[in-house]
Amino acid sequence: MSKVVFISKRKIQWYIVLAALIVICGAYYGWQRTQAASVPPSDGARVIELVTGEFKATTDDGKTLESYRWDPGNVYLRKGEPVELRITGINGQSHPFVIEGLNVSGEVHKGKTTVVRFTPKNAGIYPIICQTHTDPKNGGPMVGYIIVQ
């Protein structure tokens, strides 16, 4: 035997109002949590975003090869231009690095962003070198280039 349930017009209106309030509150909460994808630095420096990347391959004999890199691999700057590098760790647990010739160093961790600031004084090519991945047996060399014009 089936039951018949009667819902008054007033209850339906209340359910509609309640559902609308839930949707509005959810939208407001989501809106408040949004943030700008990239916040410009307060000193007016140019922001460059880099990530760590990894490539894996398997040879015919079943050996796994890994290679790490900075992406993008080349960053072009102007001399005297203040720069903020934001390097995000995507692959690999830790990438301690140096930028030779610019006296810049740091360490990138997986899932985190490391920020370094500098102003290149001279034109030239400055390698950014990961100190963990320095040779092929360690997934390297992991080298990128800061090209100052």
State the pLDDT at residue 100: 92
Say how far apart CA 87 and CA 17 lie, in whole Å.
47
pLDDT digits 0-9 by tens, 92-140:
788 899 999 998 999 999 889 999 999 999 999 999 988 887 777 776 7
CATH number at residue 115: 2.60.40.420
Determine the structural domain holding residue 139 and report its residue range: 46-148
Domain annotation covers residue 81: yes
Domain annotation covers residue 142: yes
Domain annotation covers residue 31: no
Domain annotation covers residue 27: no
Give the number of domains in the chain: 1
Nearest to 145 by CA among 124, 126, 122: 126
Q: Which pTM value belongs to this model?
A: 0.66
pLDDT digits 0-9 by tens, 22-58:
888 777 767 655 444 555 565 688 998 988 888 888 8
